[in-house]
Amino acid sequence: MFGFAIGCYLFLGGLAGGLGAVASWAALCVPASEVCERIGEGRRRLVGVPLLAASFATFVSMLCLLADAARPEAVGALFASPRANILTVGAWLLVAFGAISGALALFWLYGRRVCHNRLLCVAHGAALVLGVAVTVYSAIYLAGIRAVPLWHSWWIVPLFVGSSFAAACVLFAAMAFCTRIDGLFPATVRRAKAFALLFLAVEAASACGFALAALAAPETGSSAAAAASAVELLFGPSAFVWWGGFALIGIAGSVLFELAGNRRPSDRRMARAFVMAACACALAGMFSLRMSVIMAGAHPALGF
């Protein structure tokens, strides 16, 4: 339990929810007149590709949960359980979001036109809400574990959610550049990059609050264990994952490349290179954050 597979779940689940929510936001901004007669190729790529990636990431994240479970057959029992708890609700959230994002992705990629725009807006509104819920759930999943004091902190929620949406916004912009539609929707790409910087700020502030709250906790009971785990996180043998992978590459690197790309927006080749670099940094930082927190909290009691 709580090994590499669960780190991959937290990474992929949070990224999938964030990317699906961002893609649904972009779809809701599309004027009805542009898709009622014919869906343009640019719109297909702008919305369909991120939704397809979100659906695939959701599916892989569920496989990671199965791989991490001590009894994989027990995971199926979650869907038949009459009791609602964080595990059963989370399982249904993943399935519902994966299904609706996959269906919407196929519609945008292969549909000809929108016959009922209000119905499409409702579907994307549901996908946006479910995407946010999946992202928040991937954080609550860890924060709700009382047995590990470092994880049982509500600072985990804004930290992981900010990280997920920062990476999702940068990845959305990178996909627009990769599919060569950034020039068709410059305002949408600019907004996604601006949101990425906002979420990076939330992530950085939450990381400081998370670490300081654990270090400043009273040295009694579970608080002492949380402080010891925080010391392990910040100064232990694996501290380079937090400082190097998360803080330096994930936060500083992402901000640096995002701001550098904004200075020369007319040079599309340079802008594309900076966005791709920012995307790589954000994804690396997102994964490093989750793995460093898991390692610090699980070591040595859970035998990570």
Q: Is a pLDDT exceeding 60 seen at residue 264? A: yes
| Close Cβ partners of 181 (under 8 Å, ≥ 6 residues apart) | 42, 45, 46
Query: When comparing pLDDT for 116 and 177, which is higher?
Result: 177
Quick: pLDDT tens for 189-199: 999 999 999 99
Please give the angle made by the CA atoms of 14, 17 and 23, to the nearest 5 degrees: 135
Query: 31: pLDDT confidence band, cut at 50, 70 and 90?
Result: confident
Report in angstroms the alpha-carbon separations of 223 from 116, 214, 297.
Answer: 55, 7, 12
What are the distances in angstroms from CA 167 to CA 121, 123, 249, 251, 254?
25, 24, 12, 10, 9
User: Under a CB-based contact definition with an 8 Å cutoff, are residues 289 and 142 in contact?
Assistant: no
- Read off the pLDDT of each residue in 200-205 and give the average, rounded to a whole number: 98
pLDDT at 283 exceeding the cut of 80: yes
What pLDDT score does 75 carry?
62
CA separation, residue 195 to residues 75, 96, 167, 170, 189 (Å): 35, 26, 10, 9, 10
Q: pLDDT tens digits for 144-162? A: 888 888 888 899 999 999 9
- Interacting residues of 70 by C-beta distance below 8 A, sequence separation 6+: 1
Reported as a single tens digit per residue, the pLDDT across 215-241 is: 887 776 677 888 888 999 999 888 999
CA 49 to chain centre: 16
Query: What's the token pair of residue 82?
Result: 């009459």
What would the pLDDT profile of 85-116 be if each residue is shown by its tens digit? 677 788 889 999 999 999 999 999 998 777 77
Q: Rounded CA gap, 143 and 149, in Å?
A: 9
177, with CB counted inside 10 A (0-12, 13-18, 19+), is buried
Residue type, 250: G
Cis omega (within 30 of 0) on the bond before 186? no
Give the DSSP letter of residue 34.
G
> What's the pTM value of the predicted model, to 2 decimals?
0.92
Distances 230 to 1, 199, 213, 238, 252 between C-alpha atoms, Å? 21, 23, 9, 12, 21
Q: What whole-number distance in Å separates Cα of residue 229 and Cα of residue 126?
A: 38
Q: What is the C-alpha separation between 118 and 51, in angstroms, rounded?
A: 19
pLDDT for res 1: 53
Conformational region of residue 264, where left means phi above 0, alpha means psi within -120 to 50, and beta covers everything else: beta
Give the tokens for residue 222: 């579970």
CA distance 77 to 80: 5
- What is the average pLDDT value for the chain, to the nearest integer? 88
Which one-letter DSSP state was computed for residue 183? T
